[in-house]
Each structure stands twice: as C-alpha cells, then as structure tokens.
C-alpha cells in the first residue's frame, strides 16, 4: 500500500527558551494516521517541548510543522486543539467547575456543537470512563486516579484526531494502567493517532510499537520499540535502563538458553518458557 | 521494643465517612529496608502521616487507638520532637525545599532544633558527601533538576539523624537510571547507619530486590507485613491489583507443571538460578 | 510592558561591592533616597540627586537592568508630562519633569535594593531588626515560591488552552469571567502547596520550642559602616539645604519657563 501523506510532518524545527537553552535542535519526524508512539528520554531532553509545538503552545523559531498537509504556524492554539488534544500531567491544572458535568461542558465550548449534541457526548463519555456516578459532584472531591480520568475524558470528548499524553501512567496502580491501555486501544481502533511522553519503560516495551528517543534536544532514535529499547548504547544515552525481559533474555543466553529475537514481550516469553520447560521436563 | 508501634489505630479524616485507616497493628524495628505497597487510595500516604504525628495533630479527624514512636505517643508529643526520630520525604520535592539555596536548606531543620552552628557545619559536610550534592550547595531550588531536588530533600531530612526515614514515592518524576541510583544510595545509607527506611512505591521492579520486608495495605487495612520472600509468595500478594515485578509475573504465568521453584524468583539472578538446572 | 518591569526587581547574583554590602545598608540606602526625593520639588536638586545614584548603579554593575526599568516607565512619564502641562498653569512642564525625576529616583533606589539583596539575607536583616522569626520567614518563603507559582500558572494556561480555552475575549465582563479557568486551579494548587509546605516544615521541627540558632548570619563590616556614613551625610546635607532654602543659589530654583 502506498504511503499516504503523513498526518504529522515536522521539518527541521528549532526552539530555545528565553534563558538561551536549546530545547529543540533540528527536529524532523513523520507520524502516520493510526500510529501509537512513545517519546522517551532524559528529563530536560525536550520531550514536553516537542509535544507543545503540535498544538501551537510553542512556536518553533525555524522550520515548519504540517498537520493533515497544512502548515500550522498561522493557526491559533484554539483551532489546533480541535485536532490535537494534549492531556497534561497534572489534572489539578484544569479543574475549576462546580460539577463534573460542567467541567465537560467547558471542554466542548468552542466546538460549535448544539446543546443536544453536547448532552449526548457527555452521557457517552461519563459512561465510558465510569464517572456517571460523579456527574453532579464537585471535581475536587475526586480521588487522584479519577481526576486523571476526568482530565483524559475532557480531551477525548472533543474527539481530536491526534491524542497526546504527558506521563499517563505516573502514580497509577495496575488496574488504572489496564484501564488506560484499554482506552488507547479503543481509540486506535476508532482511527485515532496516539503519542505519549513517558518514563515507563516496561509499559512502552510491552504495548507501544514505535518509540522516539530524545537527548539534549535532538532525536537520537526513531523506530520499532523492540529494536530501540534493546540497544544498550541508546538506552544508556537517554538515562533509561534495559527492560526486565530483555535483561532476562541476555542472562538466559549466558547460561545457554537461546531465545529467538522476536520474543520480547511478557506473554511471548511465558509461552517460550512453557514450551522449553515442557520439553526439558518430559526428557527427565 | 519496636521503634514504631501502631496499637489498633484507626483514623477518619474530618468530613469523610469512611475510615482511611482501620485497626492498624504494626511494629516496625530499626535496621530494616521496607517496601510499603498498595493500590492507589489504599492508605499508604495516610499511614506515613501517622508515623511522625502529622496524623492526628496536623490533619484533623477522628481517631481510635494509639501510635507510639520510641515509646512516645504521637497524639500529644509535639511533631518537632518526633521529627528527631522519624524523617519523612514527601512526594513532591518542590514543596519541601523552603530555602533559597541548598546549603541553607540542609541547615534549616538543625537551626529549628537549636543545634550549634559548629555542629551544623559538621553534619552538613557529612550528609552532603553521602548524597553527592557538593556541586550544588549554592544553587537555588529552581536551578536544580528533579533528581537533585530529591537528593537535597533526602539530605535535609537525613541530617537530623533520624532512626527511621520514610519516603513517599521518591522516584515518581525521575529518569529510570537516576531512580536506580537514588534507591541504591538509600540502601547504602540504611545499611551503613543501621536505620530503617520505608519506601512507598508503585514501580517495584528495582525496589523489591533491595528490601528486607514488605507491608501490604489495602482499603486502609494492613494485609501483610513480613519478610519479602514470604509476602511475595503469598496468595494475598498475587491477588492484589498492584504493579508486580516483571520476573514475578513471568513465572506466575507458567503452566502449573512448569513452576519449577519453591519460592517464586523476583530478581533476574534468582530466575537464572532456577533455570540453570534445565539447560 | 508590565512583566518586563518586574525584572527590575528580581535578585541577580553578582559579586560586586554593592552586592556584598549588608542588606541593612541597602535598605537604609533605599529609604534615604526616597526621603531625599520627597524633600525637593525643584528640578535641579532632584536632577543632582538622580545623578548621585549613578555611582551606585555602576558599582553594582546594574546598568542594563536599570535602563530596562526606566524605559518601561516611559508611558507613565509621558502621561504625567501631558496631564501636568495641560492642567497646571504655573510652570506645569517643569513641574512634571521634576516629578518624573522624583519617581525615577525612588524606583531606582528600591530597584537597586531588590536587585542586590539575596532574599535569604533579607529575612535575616528583618530578624536583626527584631521582627519575629515567623514573619521574616514567611516573607522569604513568599520570595522562594514566586518562580514556582509562575511556572504553575504557565502550566495551567497550557492545560486550559489544550481544551479549547481562548485567552482573548471581548468585553469587560467576559474578560473577568474568562479568568476563572486560570485563577481557580491556580488558587487551589497554591493552597495545596501551602499545605504540603506546612507539612514538610512540621516534619523538620519548625515551631520547635527550642531556641533557634542561625547557621548563616549577617555582620556589619568596615565597608558597611563607611557606606552608612556616606548615606547619613548625604541625607543630613540635603536636610540642611532644604531648610536653608533662603541661602540656596538662584540657579537651584531655576526652572523652564513653561
């Protein structure tokens, strides 16, 4: 199939903050519709600066960004945020309404929707996120995990084509991370494109097919997760560590158990070990 | 005698109907490295606040039972007093750094306690070496990175010479490489000074290798408090919806007949030792 | 204009003789120059006082910041000139020039103070003037958190803009309503922050009944005394001249014929 025009095209952009530190240096990348990508790298490498260029919060000093084939430098943040929805780390930075329902209404204010449409969307979203029981409650009464859900809900109800998360799994326990995983799979199925800035190596290794590694404002790697996160040099350069399963694979090799390259996820490894041990144990 | 002792302690925050902590019975000694694990909202932070008197003195609410630190009751012993025995490093280092530069930050607690400047100088030098922050002594809080802020917060608590240091999600905002460094540093401090360190964390892969004991908390109740191996191999641990170490999940996922271990491996080393027999 | 102006009061760490002075000397400096400025309404004396600030600015290597602060007051100055020239019949223009110089002196004096005094030392100097520790400490705590809160405000603006919030609105009432999505999260997070800080303070024995010691302290050195004397001398000299106004030379009272 011929490659369509990329959904997002970043062409040699640069940006530095007023105190003269270079946040982004000569960044170029392409994102196709339907992709699921992690951006990782050391704190201060430029990850959050990069995502902010996609909805206009930050305007690069040189280079251009194209979304859906159009240059975005003349578009306002309000316009761009209809296509690109960013969910930032701290949900408390958004909440201000009297009820959750009003919070969601506020999110849909500049979308030119009719009252009925808004009401419908709110019903659907509250259901999807299991927040229906809190509809009339104050957003300040929510627990940390639920507030985070509300923050995500308030962007998803705007139906942006590109959804960007800033540290979505921070401080979350297993069931919250499961919910998040299900959510992003649902959205990908609906045809959305998802990008996340994260420190969570294990989550990325298991679930995210493409990773962009940044260091010192530059992209030092951009490719399939299983290749990038198993590369010791790259991992070290971005202050990460090798995923557990990868380290285990290396250890197995050293004791004489060779694991095929394509096995790197938890479930695949379980299957491999099951087969391996079944054979070994039946020989005894 | 246990250094921290919870005697059937329950606590309900003012304005809440539900109990944040229920019937807590816990005895924590010195010289242990302990992991405190539980789902979000399980009461980890509330439990931590009890250990230096913030609950019930700073946080209003209704309590039953008592908590003793080195024999002193946390209900009427001033927090400033308890702070000499228990040090707490909270979740967000930004909100713990109150001085305009690192050196003053570390001196702060000692100044409050009326310690003589000569002694303050000595202790600063010692603690700065352990936490490796010599280079940033004259920097302001907004000039240092997240990892450095965390180390400064740890240093400023360590310098008060507590017998137990508690950290609430210390690696949350850190790069994995620096997270490992800090946890290793804390382990070293724990072993050298023979104090206890309790860490509340969601990400367990690194930590579970370093700790001696594990406390499991759920819905405000203590489900387990025992040696690491015992807790990890328990059904309680298996059923809890917390992030489990990858190696644990791997071996737990094996078919029953392939579970060739007495104790489930949690480190890669353990795992390889088990499998060596089958090469 | 408005935010740039604040930069004229932000402490910058430098190693100059002015920076090394005890903060109390610099406070005296600001107060003395304010009194000096208020004592005169004539152009010439005010201008001379203004010129006498220059050595201090040069010694403190503060030229760039100082020029920025004066420049950002440009609008205010033009406003004063216009109003005074139109409405004051008796030499309005001269009067307005004199007023502008007066304002410049006072702003400059305090700007120099804030630019060269480390907020930590500020708290110490307040304490040495017998202000209770809790007040002095709250003061320095406020300083310490200014960059943090500014950062938080920016994050809040980013978060709300990402939800389609628009910064520009028409009409006064709309503009005020439009501030809620920014102010409410900022206030709430500041209150939460205050709680966290208080918690951390308690846990580091703040409020202990023991008598507090001070690791750092400020001392008056010979240089400090010299500067203090110079300032007192200037002040007394000007008071003398003010009250001996009859003996003031004619050119002192000169003003433009406007």
Residues B93/B149, Cβ–Cβ less than 8 Å: yes
Which residues on B lie below 8 Å from C118 (Cβ)? Answer: 100
Do A45 and A57 lie in a common domain?
Answer: yes
Establish how many alpha carbons lie within 13 A of residue A157's alpha carbon, considering only the half-sphere containing its beta carbon. Answer: 33
Q: Looking at per-residue confidence, does A244 or C11 come out higher?
A: A244
Do A18 and A48 lie in a common domain?
Answer: yes
Nearest CA in chain A to C163: A107
Handedness of CA C127, C129, C130, C131 (dihedral sign): negative
Check CB contact of A170 with chain B, cutoff 8 Å: yes
Specify whether the backbone of A44 is left (phi greater than 0), alpha (psi in -120 to 50) or beta. Answer: left
Helix (H, G, I), strand (E, B) or coil at A250: helix
Q: Which residue range(s) make up the domain with A266?
A: 243-284
Residues A44/A36, Cβ–Cβ less than 8 Å: no
Q: Do A78 and C185 touch (CB under 8 A)?
A: no
- What does the pLDDT read at residue B145? 87
The residues of chain B that CATH labels 3.40.50.300 are 1-77+167-228
pLDDT at C72 over 80: no
Q: Looking at per-residue confidence, does A281 or C93 come out higher?
A: A281
**Backbone phi and psi for residue A199, each to the nearest 5 degrees, phi listed first:** -105, -5
Check CB contact of A272 with chain C, cutoff 8 Å: no
- What does the pLDDT read at residue B169? 93
A40 within some domain? yes
Q: Do C203 and B157 touch (CB under 8 A)?
A: yes
Burial (Cβ within 10 Å: 0-12, 13-18, ≥19) of residue A104: buried
Do A70 and A17 lie in a common domain?
Answer: yes
Q: Per DSSP, what are the bridge partners of residue B88?
A: B166
pLDDT at C5 over 70: no
Min Cα distance C141 → chain A (Å) is 22
Q: How many CB pairs under 8 A join A and C?
A: 71
| C60 DSSP 8-state letter | T
Residues A264/A211, Cβ–Cβ less than 8 Å: no
Do A234 and A282 lie in a common domain?
Answer: no
Q: Do A281 and B260 touch (CB under 8 A)?
A: yes
Other Cβ atoms closer than 10 A to A214: 24
Q: What is the rounded CA–CA span in Å between residue B148 and residue B141?
A: 9
C-alpha angle with apex B171: B165 to B175, nearest 5 degrees?
Answer: 145
- What does the pLDDT read at residue C252? 61
- What does the pLDDT read at residue B215? 97
- What does the pLDDT read at residue A2? 42
Establish how many alpha carbons lie within 13 A of residue C111's alpha carbon, considering only the half-sphere containing its beta carbon. Answer: 27
Which pair of structure tokens corresponds to residue B128?
A: 């700065």
Q: Do B54 and C140 touch (CB under 8 A)?
A: no
Q: Tokens 């003037």, residue?
A: C129
- What does the pLDDT read at residue C245? 64
Establish how many alpha carbons lie within 13 A of residue C34's alpha carbon, considering only the half-sphere containing its beta carbon. Answer: 12
Residues B207/B201, Cβ–Cβ less than 8 Å: yes
- What does the pLDDT read at residue C256? 59
Percent of chain C as helix, strand, coil, to the nearest 5: 75, 0, 25
| A138 DSSP 8-state letter | -
Q: Which site among A96, A106, A118, A142 would you substitute to test the C interface, given the most C Cβ atoms closer than 10 Å to its Cβ?
A: A96
C-alpha angle with apex A35: A226 to A156, nearest 5 degrees?
Answer: 125
| Alpha-carbon separation of residue B208 from B134, B141, B211, C150 (angstroms) | 30, 31, 6, 38
- What does the pLDDT read at residue C254? 64
Q: Per DSSP, what are the bridge partners of residue A30?
A: A9
Which pair of structure tokens corresponds to residue A100?
A: 């959750």
Min Cα distance C119 → chain B (Å) is 7
Do A233 and A248 lie in a common domain?
Answer: no
- Helices of type H across B12-171: 44-50, 79-82, 102-112, 117-131, 146-158
A121 within some domain? no
Residues C64/C26, Cβ–Cβ less than 8 Å: no
Task: Select the residue of B80, B90, B142 nearest C205 (Cβ to Cβ).
Answer: B80
Average pLDDT over residues C175-187: 89
Residues B53/B82, Cβ–Cβ less than 8 Å: yes
Q: Which residues of chain B from 149 to 168 reach within 8 Å of chain C, CB to CB?
A: 156-157, 160
| Alpha-carbon separation of residue A154 from A77, A157, A163, A190, C163 (angstroms) | 17, 6, 12, 18, 7
Q: What is the rounded CA–CA span in Å between residue C95 and residue B120?
A: 57
Min Cα distance A144 → chain B (Å) is 8
| Alpha-carbon separation of residue C86 from A273, B66, C79, C89, C102 (angstroms) | 93, 77, 11, 7, 20
C-alpha angle with apex C64: C9 to C8, nearest 5 degrees?
Answer: 10
A84 within some domain? no
pLDDT at A209 over 50: yes
Cα–chain center distance at B40: 16
pLDDT at C117 over 90: no
Best CATH choice for the domain B1-77+167-228 from the list 3.50.50.60, 3.40.50.300, 3.10.520.10, 2.130.10.10: 3.40.50.300
Nearest alpha-carbon partner for A67 in A118, A33, A20 = A33
Which pair of structure tokens corresponds to residue C12?
A: 């910058």
Nearest alpha-carbon partner for C202 in B84, B155, B61, B115 = B84
Tens of pLDDT, residue by residue over C16-38, are: 888 888 888 888 899 999 999 99
- Helices of type H across B113-218: 117-131, 146-158, 176-193, 207-210
What lies within 8 Å, CB to CB, of C143 at 6+ separation is B100, C119, C122
Q: What is the rounded CA–CA span in Å between residue B91 and residue B105?
A: 17
Which pair of structure tokens corresponds to residue A241?
A: 């560590």
Nearest CA in chain C to B98: C141
A117 within some domain? no
pLDDT at A125 over 70: yes
Query: How far apart, in Å, do the first and last CA atoms of chain C sit?
Result: 30
Min Cα distance A89 → chain B (Å) is 11
Average pLDDT over residues A185-212: 96
Outline where DSSP puts E strands in chain B: 4-13, 21-28, 33-37, 61-69, 72-73, 86-89, 164-168, 196-200, 213-218, 221-227
Tens of pLDDT, residue by residue over C195-250, are: 999 999 999 999 888 888 989 888 888 888 999 999 999 888 888 888 776 556 66
Burial (Cβ within 10 Å: 0-12, 13-18, ≥19) of residue C81: middle
A204 within some domain? yes
- What does the pLDDT read at residue B1? 61
Residues A40/A213, Cβ–Cβ less than 8 Å: yes
Query: How far apart, in Å, do the first and last CA atoms of chain B sit?
Result: 48
Task: Select the residue of C144, C212, C215 nearest B98 (Cβ to Cβ).
Answer: C144
Min Cα distance C63 → chain A (Å) is 19
C-alpha angle with apex A153: A59 to B217, nearest 5 degrees?
Answer: 115
Q: What are the per-10-residue average pLDDT scores of chain B (279 residues)?
A: 90 92 95 95 94 93 95 93 94 91 94 94 94 92 88 95 95 89 95 96 89 96 96 94 93 88 90 88
Q: Pick the range with the lowest mean pLDDT from A171-185, C123-137, C168-182, C243-257.
A: C243-257
Helix (H, G, I), strand (E, B) or coil at A243: coil
Q: Do C155 and A88 touch (CB under 8 A)?
A: yes
pLDDT at C13 over 80: no
Cα–chain center distance at C142: 15
Nearest CA in chain B to A202: B246
Q: Do B58 and C199 touch (CB under 8 A)?
A: yes
Q: Looking at per-residue confidence, does A44 or B255 come out higher?
A: B255
Please count the structural domains in chain A. 2
Residues B69/B51, Cβ–Cβ less than 8 Å: yes
Residues B40/B57, Cβ–Cβ less than 8 Å: no
Q: What is the rounded CA–CA span in Å between residue B217 and residue B214?
A: 10
pLDDT at A99 over 60: yes
CATH code for the domain of A231: 3.40.50.300
Q: What Rg do the C-alpha atoms of chain B give, in angstroms?
A: 20
Min Cα distance B22 → chain A (Å) is 19
Percent of chain B as helix, strand, coil, to the nearest 5: 40, 20, 35
């Amino acid at each position: 199939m011929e490659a369509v025009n990329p959904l997002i095209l970043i062409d040699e952009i640069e940006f530095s903050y007023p105190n003269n530190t270079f946040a982004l240096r000569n960044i170029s990348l392409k994102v196709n519709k339907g992709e699921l990508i992690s951006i990782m790298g050391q704190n201060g490498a430029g990850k959050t600066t990069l995502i902010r260029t996609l909805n206009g919060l930050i305007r690069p000093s040189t280079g251009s960004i194209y979304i859906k084939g159009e240059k975005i430098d003349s578009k306002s943040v309000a316009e761009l945020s209809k296509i690109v929805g960013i969910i930032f780390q701290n949900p408390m930075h958004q909440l201000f309404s009297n009820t959750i329902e009003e919070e969601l209404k506020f999110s849909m204010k500049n979308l030119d929707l009719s009252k009925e449409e808004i009401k419908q969307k709110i019903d659907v979203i509250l259901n999807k996120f299991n927040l229906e029981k809190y509809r009339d409650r104050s957003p300040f009464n929510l627990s940390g995990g639920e507030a985070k859900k509300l923050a995500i809900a308030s962007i998803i109800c705007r139906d942006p084509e590109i959804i960007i998360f800033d540290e979505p799994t921070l401080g979350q326990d297993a069931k919250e991370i499961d919910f998040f995983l299900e959510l992003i799979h649902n959205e990908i199925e609906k045809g959305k494109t998802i990008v996340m800035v994260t420190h969570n190596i294990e989550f990325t290794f298991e679930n995210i097919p493409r990773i962009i590694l940044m260091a010192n404002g530059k992209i030092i790697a951009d490719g399939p997760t299983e290749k990038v996160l198993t590369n010791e040099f790259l991992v070290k350069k971005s202050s990460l560590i090798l995923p557990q399963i990868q380290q285990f694979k290396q250890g197995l090799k050293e004791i004489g158990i060779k694991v095929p390259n394509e096995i790197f996820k938890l479930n695949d490894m379980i299957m491999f070990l099951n087969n391996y041990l079944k054979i070994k144990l039946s020989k005894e | 005698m246990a250094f921290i002792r919870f005697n059937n302690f329950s606590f309900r925050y003012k304005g809440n109907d539900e109990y944040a902590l229920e019937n807590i019975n816990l005895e924590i000694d010195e010289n242990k490295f302990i992991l405190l694990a539980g789902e979000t909202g399980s009461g980890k932070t509330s439990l931590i606040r009890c250990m230096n008197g913030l609950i019930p003195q700073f946080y209003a609410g209704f309590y039953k039972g008592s908590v003793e630190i080195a024999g002193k009751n946390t209900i009427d012993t001033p927090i400033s007093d308890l702070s000499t025995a228990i040090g707490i490093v909270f979740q967000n280092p930004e909100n713990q750094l109150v001085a305009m530069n690192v050196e003053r930050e570390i001196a702060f607690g000692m100044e409050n306690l009326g310690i003589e400047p000569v002694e303050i100088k000595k202790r600063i030098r010692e603690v700065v070496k352990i936490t490796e922050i010599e280079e940033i002594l004259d920097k302001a809080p907004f000039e240092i990175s997240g990892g450095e802020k965390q180390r400064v917060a740890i240093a400023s608590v360590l310098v008060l010479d507590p017998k137990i240091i508690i950290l609430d999600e210390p690696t949350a905002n850190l790069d994995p490489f620096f997270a490992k460094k800090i946890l290793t540093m804390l382990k070293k401090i724990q072993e050298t000074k023979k104090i206890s360190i309790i860490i509340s964390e969601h990400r367990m892969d690194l930590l579970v290798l370093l700790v001696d004991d594990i406390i499991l908390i759920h819905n405000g109740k203590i489900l387990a408090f025992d040696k690491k191996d015992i807790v990890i191999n328990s059904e309680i641990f298996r059923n809890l919806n917390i992030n489990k170490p990858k190696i644990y999940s791997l071996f737990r996922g094996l078919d029953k007949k392939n579970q060739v271990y007495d104790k489930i491996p949690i480190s890669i080393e353990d795992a390889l030792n088990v499998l060596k027999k089958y090469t | 204009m408005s935010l740039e102006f604040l930069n004229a009061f932000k402490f910058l760490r430098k190693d100059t003789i002015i920076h090394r002075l005890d903060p109390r000397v610099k406070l005296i400096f600001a107060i003395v120059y304010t009194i000096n400025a208020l004592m005169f309404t004539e152009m010439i004396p005010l201008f001379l006082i203004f010129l006498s600030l220059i050595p201090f600015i040069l010694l403190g290597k503060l030229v760039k910041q100082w020029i920025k602060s004066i420049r950002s007051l440009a609008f205010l100055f033009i406003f004063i000139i216009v109003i005074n020239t139109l409405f004051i019949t008796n030499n309005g223009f001269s009067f307005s020039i004199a007023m502008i110089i007066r304002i410049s002196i006072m702003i400059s004096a305090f700007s120099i103070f804030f630019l060269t005094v480390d907020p930590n030392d500020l708290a110490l100097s307040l304490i040495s003037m017998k202000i209770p520790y809790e007040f002095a400490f709250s003061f320095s705590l406020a300083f310490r958190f200014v960059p943090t809160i500014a950062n938080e405000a920016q994050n809040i603006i980013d978060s709300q803009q990402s939800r389609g919030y628009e910064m520009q609105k028409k009409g006064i009432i709309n503009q005020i309503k439009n501030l809620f999505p920014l102010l409410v999260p900022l206030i709430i997070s500041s209150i939460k922050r205050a709680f966290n800080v208080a918690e951390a303070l308690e846990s580091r024995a703040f409020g202990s009944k023991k008598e507090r010691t001070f690791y750092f302290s400020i001392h008056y050195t010979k240089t400090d005394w010299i500067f203090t004397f110079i300032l007192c001398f200037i002040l007394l000299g000007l008071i003398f001249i003010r009250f001996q106004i009859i003996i003031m030379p004619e050119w002192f009272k000169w003003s433009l014929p406007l």
